[in-house]
Amino acid sequence: MPQTISIRIDGELVSALQGQTILEAAKQAGKYIPTLCYFEGLSAVGACRLCIVEVAGTDKLLPACTTPVQDGMSVTTTSPKLTQYRRIALELLFVERNHVCAVCVSNGHCELQNLATSLGITNMRHWYNYPNLPVDLSHKRFVLDHNRCILCTRCVRVCAEVEGAHVWEITERGISSRLTSGLNQPWGQVTDCTNCGKCVQVCPTGALAEKGWAVEEMVKQNDNISGLAHRKGGQ
């Protein structure tokens, strides 16, 4: 049994288990920290920087999903500084691809959009990149729209860690990074794919979606995936 320690979250004294991350401890205590690339049950990568928190004693903003709790730690989850940095992280995600909410299947049910709304983003302070990106319609049931992908790698992780097929991976690097299936094949031609649709359901945006839905109609059904991951021995 891991040792119980106490930490402060927004001034409130809460107990946590040794080895837990700040995010897990906060969730347990009923505190909300915004997340995007984190998905319960999958390994945490700390890539989106939305869950950054202030920890007393360090000037650095630390990602709550990968930082383990320490005895006596004092964590701040909301502050003007954190809001500012979270907005920057989101804005850069928006300008990197072509996120046009009005014509997206996930409009209204999109985690990226919801976070932007809750952080009060109404417009971008940077130029959009407008990259020329393809849409992969080769799979018989699902669609991959690179324009809406934020490279959170949730699909990569759910496919590798829960389904065990490892169809997805990020290829290239930097600004040319792309989500790729198999050996850069069209998704429909990847024989490893089991058509389970977990990647579609964990995708926070409309990048992976089911075919046959119109604008605003794609609601992700991912409640059971965390449970499945836990049974597979996930975190």
Partner 1 sequence: MQTTLQENPDASERAFINQVIASQSDRPGALLGILEAVQEHHPRKYLPMETLRYIAARTGIPPSIVYSVATFYALFNLQPQGENTICVCRGTACHTRGSRNLLETLRLELGFGREDESDEATDSDKLVLTTEDQRFTVRTVACFGQCALAPVVEINHKICSHVNEHTLQRQVRELERESK
| Residues of this chain that bind partner 1 (CB under 8 A) | 160, 165-174, 176, 180-184, 191-192
CB of 40 to partner 1, least distance (A): 24
What string of H, E and C letters represents the secondary structure of the chain?
Answer: CCCEEEEEECCEEEEEECCCEHHHHHHHCCCCCCCCCCCCCCCCCCCCCCCEEEECCCCCEEECCCCECCCCCEEECCCHHHHHHHHHHHHHHHHHCCCCHHHCCCCCCCHHHHHHHHCCCCCCCCCCCCCCCCEECCCCCEEEEHHHCCCCCHHHHHHHHHHCCCCEEEECCHHHCEEEECCCCCHHHCCCCCCCCHHHHHCCCCCEEECCCCCCCCCCCCHHHHHHHHHCCCC
CB of 207 to partner 1, least distance (A): 17
Q: For partner 1, which is the closer residue by CB, 123 or 191? A: 191
CB of 77 to partner 1, least distance (A): 34
CA atoms of 145 and 192, how far apart (whole Å): 20
Q: For partner 1, which is the closer residue by CB, 18 or 184? A: 184
Q: For partner 1, which is the closer residue by CB, 2 or 174? A: 174
Q: For partner 1, which is the closer residue by CB, 59 or 172? A: 172
Q: Are 41 and 62 in contact (CB under 8 A)?
A: no
**CA nearest 111: which of 173, 37, 41?**
37
Q: For partner 1, which is the closer residue by CB, 61 or 149? A: 149
Q: For partner 1, which is the closer residue by CB, 69 or 151? A: 151
